[in-house]
Chains A and B, each alone.
Chain A
Amino acid sequence: NAGVTQTPKFQVLKTGQSMTLQCAQDMNHEYMSWYRQDPGMGLRLIHYSVGAGITDQGEVPNGYNVSRSTTEDFPLRLLSAAPSQTSVYFCASSGPTGTSYTDTQYFGPGTRLTVL
């Protein structure tokens, strides 16, 4: 199993550009989530999904969109990038079916995004 994979590893955007951060897991996990990590702030939840076709907002959802068309994939879209979105983004998943969504989380390696 590859676990949780994220692409790209690094990205530089200009203000106003849009992009999609990719996240995929091969563990058949129902629950997937996106966090951003900023210095001194810990990890903050952006969006999460408890299954295909179901998404919900986390603590800091503004400026981001998500969709969950398959169990495996959970892309995060930045609609119009702003310098405040400069951060490291982590995708996580947990499961399988029958376990709590809030049990052990498996994290991807992260995407380091810089918005100029």
Chain B
Amino acid sequence: SQQGEEDPQALSIQEGENATMNCSYKTSINNLQWYRQNSGRGLVHLILIRSNEREKHSGRLRVTLDTSKKSSSLLITASRAADTASYFCAQTGANNLFFGTGTRLTVIP
């Protein structure tokens, strides 16, 4: 399987704290993406980072990519209760994406 893995599987923090989740993948990529899934809903795209990029920001999100270690991290700063969700990384294949198993983030008000 080419599925990547997120770490940790679950994370619980207080509102206002930062949340960091990591993703490891197995093969070379064109890009790596992060998605959010609220309970019972479909996935929503958060950010895409290409293989020649090392860091990318979008609002309170910061993504890093280390292709030599085949790993990426997602940082959510100043977390809010509304950030409670599952977060998935997805690595590219030839014509499709391979999703990890996700990190369940709980932000406590």
Interface positions of A (Cβ within 8 A of B): 4, 31, 33, 35, 40-45, 48, 50, 56, 58-59, 90, 92, 100-110
Contact = CB atoms under 8 A, between A and B. Distances in A.
Given A33-B96, A41-B101, A109-B42, 13 more contacts: A42-B3, A42-B101, A43-B88, A45-B96, A48-B95, A50-B95, A101-B96, A102-B95, A102-B96, A103-B48, A104-B48, A107-B44, A110-B42
B41 A102 contact: no
Interface string B57-100: 00000000000000000000000000000001010110111111
B3 A102 contact: no
A20 to B, nearest CB: 19
24 contacts: A33-B96, A41-B101, A42-B3, A43-B99, A44-B3, A45-B96, A45-B97, A58-B96, A59-B1, A59-B98, A90-B43, A100-B31, A101-B95, A102-B31, A102-B95, A102-B96, A102-B97, A103-B48, A105-B33, A105-B35, A105-B97, A107-B43, A108-B42, A109-B41
A102 B88 CA distance: 15
Interface residues of B, number: 25
B31 A105 contact: no
Nearest to A106: B45
B30 interface: yes
Nearest to B91: A102
A95 to B, nearest CB: 13
B104 to A, nearest CB: 11
A35 B43 CA distance: 11
